[in-house]
Amino acid sequence: MKQTLKYIAVVFLILIWTAVNARQRQENWSEKMANTVMTIWKDSVEMEKKGRPASWSYFTGLVLEGMTNIWRRTGNERYFKYVQKNMDRFVTDNGSIKGYKKEYYDLDQVKNGRILLTLYKATHQEKYQKAAMLLRDQLKTHPRTKEGGFWHQHIYPYQMWLDGLYMAEPFYAEYAATFNEPASFDDIANQFIYMENHARDSKTGLLYHGWDEARQQKWADKKTGLSASFWGRSMGWFGMALVDVLEYFPQNHPKRPAILAILKRFSTAIAKVQDPSSGVWYQVLDQPKGEGNYKEASASNMFVYALAKGVRLGYLSAKFKHTATKGFDGIINTFIETAPDGQVNLKGTVVVAGLDDNRDGSYAYYLKERVKTNDPKGVGSFLLASNEIERLK
């Protein structure tokens, strides 16, 4: 009788474990989205432009970085092979990059360098190192503001944008750590310090999208040089840049505390503008009740990623774990749709937003840009956020 009861208890425990494991697999949103990526973008993450060659774009790199992080967590080689296949569309055997133009001095073109470093470390193929060196060389001669901040692009003179911190600094930091460039970390830290000094609003703690040192742009305030609004995704780029750079920043570097302090101010500010009902964030962060404002997916994903990674690695206090998990639950409830075939679709990503003569950075401007389902910037940031939440849990 005792043996029978013991047998029943063991079977019961196995059934419970199987059910729990099945539930966990069912809620593994990162791999669900990764499988969707490999279905809808079999050959390129830019399949939306059918009939055209894929471009060396930052959003390609964002999706591939999401896939890379899932590969690191799961060890599933399918994800690594997908990343390598897509990068090999651009990287030639001699280390040149198809579609890359150094003379553009565009920080967006630097972002994919992190994927090159991943491939070099995993395969030791020299072509990936050579390609990464091209991007590092760009930063050596990239135009700068008078105090030393990178211009966002050559066609945007004297301008620093929040976006640019993510496009350049995580690669710059990983490259410096990989190839022993300790002097570079001063420069990397200064990029964040300059940007926050100019763009941070003292009342809300939020950062404006762009800053024009010359005060010449139509969108720039003539006194401050700042753009007019707090755009969600621009702050999302900034937050992700902070946690990614800190991962490679030397522990004993004298400017590391300054970067940690910027991250804490950033996290406090975005926690205050999280929608208390849904848990997600709005396109224009400080005007949730503004006419036409809407909940936006990519910014929400990026904030969840930054907060969850910051907590996991000890950069942020545990109180931000609640903000991150509430945000992720909100993302699932607000933006995710699951098709009958199991495909996961992400609604609610604004396709693009920028600053120039035709894009004035006003509240009205940010609300008129097109919103799309399964935009790569939303999908890529969802891969990052969901994987980070799964690691945190």
> Hunting for tokens 């964002």 — which residue is that?
62
Mean pLDDT to the nearest integer, 264-290: 98
pLDDT for position 51: 52
From 14-18, 106-110, 257-261, 275-279, the region with the lowest mean pLDDT: 14-18
pLDDT level of residue 22 (50, 70, 90 thresholds): very low
CA distances, 188 to each of 22, 114, 134, 137 (Å): 44, 15, 18, 15
- Report the pLDDT value the prediction gives residue 23, as an integer from 0 to 100: 41
Give the model confidence (pLDDT) of 219-239 as tens digits.
Answer: 999 999 999 999 999 999 999
pLDDT at 267: 98
pLDDT for residue 308 is more than 60: yes
Average of pLDDT values for 336-356? 96
- Give the per-residue pLDDT at 183: 97
Task: Give the pLDDT of residue 42.
Answer: 85
Name the least confident of 38-52, 70-84, 95-109, 199-213. 38-52
pLDDT at residue 55, rounded to an integer? 84
Quote the pLDDT of residue 25.
44
Structure tokens at 4: 């029978």
Q: What is the pLDDT of residue 21?
A: 43
Pick 26 or 259 by higher pLDDT: 259
Query: What number of CA atoms fall less than 13 Å from residue 231's CA on the CB side?
Result: 30
Q: Which domains does the chain have, with CATH numbers?
A: 2-392 (1.50.10.10)
DSSP assignment of 80-128, as one string? Answer: HHHHHHHHTTTB-TTS-BTT--GGG-BGGGGTTHHHHHHHHHHH--HHH
Task: Look at residue 46 in the predicted model and tell me its pLDDT.
Answer: 57
Active site residue 163: yes
Active-site position among 108, 163, 244, 375: 163
Within 254-390, strands assigned E span 336-338, 344-346, 349-350, 371-372
